[in-house]
């Protein structure tokens, strides 16, 4: 219990440092070297050596994304790839904490950067391309103050392609579970639109 208390205290101290000392304004006045060192330390914290402290490391990385915002791209995005891989392992007990970090990354650097690192893979799923429909509710909860144009460029065509598969399946009278899943996914995609409309950065020109 004592070790757990120490880890929690250190984790809280690191989160406080990230929230109070690292911001986009402060980091602009510095070279990239300090941020690179912090990034390497964060990645070390995700190794099995520090497994007992992973939840606290997750909190720290999430705080970094929210404090540094776009300055966290691309230095801290490798951590998101590792955390997503952890989350995907059967029996992993920190899914909620992992998803909270991914949500912080979406909020900090924007959905476009996160989806480059961990794509949805809704159309071509396979052993090397796992589907990540579970990301859609996280996107809905955390997308804000980003490019509304990303929804137009990425999600509108994706929803059209998926809905076309639904239409083709229905015309062949194959109302299978797969079609029901596709319909749900299309609905989830369009439920993202209000989030993208939350303080978009280029509203005046996105639909031109």
What would the mean pLDDT of 169-188 be, rounded to a whole number?
84
Q: What is the pTM of this model?
A: 0.89
Q: 1 pLDDT exceeds 50? A: no
Q: What is the mean pLDDT of the chain?
A: 89
Q: What is the DSSP string of 44-96?
A: HHTSGGGGGGHHHHHHHHHHHHHHHGGGGTTTTHHHHHHHHHHHHSTT-S-HH
Q: How many residues does this entry show for the chain?
A: 208
Please indicate whether residue 57 or residue 125 has the higher confidence score (pLDDT): 57
What would the mean pLDDT of 74-101 be, rounded to a whole number?
95
Q: What is the pLDDT of residues 43-57, one digit of tens each?
A: 999 999 999 999 999
Q: 174 pLDDT exceeds 70? A: no
Q: How far apart are CA 181 and CA 20, in angstroms?
A: 43
Of 38, 115, 51, 41, the C-alpha closest to 84 is 115
Q: 195 pLDDT exceeds 90? A: yes
Q: 20 pLDDT exceeds 90? A: no
Instruction: Quote the pLDDT of residue 173.
Output: 66
Residues paired with 129 in a beta bridge: 126
Q: 71 pLDDT exceeds 60? A: yes
Q: How far apart are CA 205 and CA 76, in angstroms?
A: 30
Q: What is the DSSP string of 110-160?
A: -HHHHHHHS----SS-BTTB---TTHHHHHHHH--SS-HHHIIIIIHHHHH
Q: Cβ(57)–Cβ(45) under 8 Å?
A: yes
């Amino acid at each position: 219990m004592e070790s757990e208390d120490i880890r929690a205290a250190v984790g809280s101290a690191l989160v406080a440092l990230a929230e109070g000392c690292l911001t986009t304004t402060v980091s602009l006045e510095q070279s990239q070297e300090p941020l690179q060192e912090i990034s390497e330390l964060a990645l070390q914290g995700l190794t099995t050596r520090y497994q007992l402290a992973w939840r606290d490391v997750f909190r720290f990385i999430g705080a970094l994304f929210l404090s540094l915002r776009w300055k966290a791209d691309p230095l801290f995005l490798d951590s998101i790839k590792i955390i997503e891989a952890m989350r995907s392992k059967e029996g992993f007990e920190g899914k909620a904490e992992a998803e909270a970090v991914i949500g912080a990354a979406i909020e900090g650097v924007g959905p476009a950067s996160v989806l480059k690192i961990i794509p949805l893979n809704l159309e071509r799923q396979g052993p090397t391309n796992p589907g990540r429909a579970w990301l859609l509710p996280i996107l809905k909860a955390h997308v804000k103050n980003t490019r509304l144009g990303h929804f137009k460029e990425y999600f509108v065509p994706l929803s059209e392609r998926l809905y076309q598969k639904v239409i083709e399946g229905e015309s062949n009278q194959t109302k299978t579970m797969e079609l029901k899943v596709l319909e749900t996914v299309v609905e989830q995609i369009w439920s993202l639109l209000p989030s993208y409309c939350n303080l978009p950065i280029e509203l005046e020109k996105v639909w031109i």
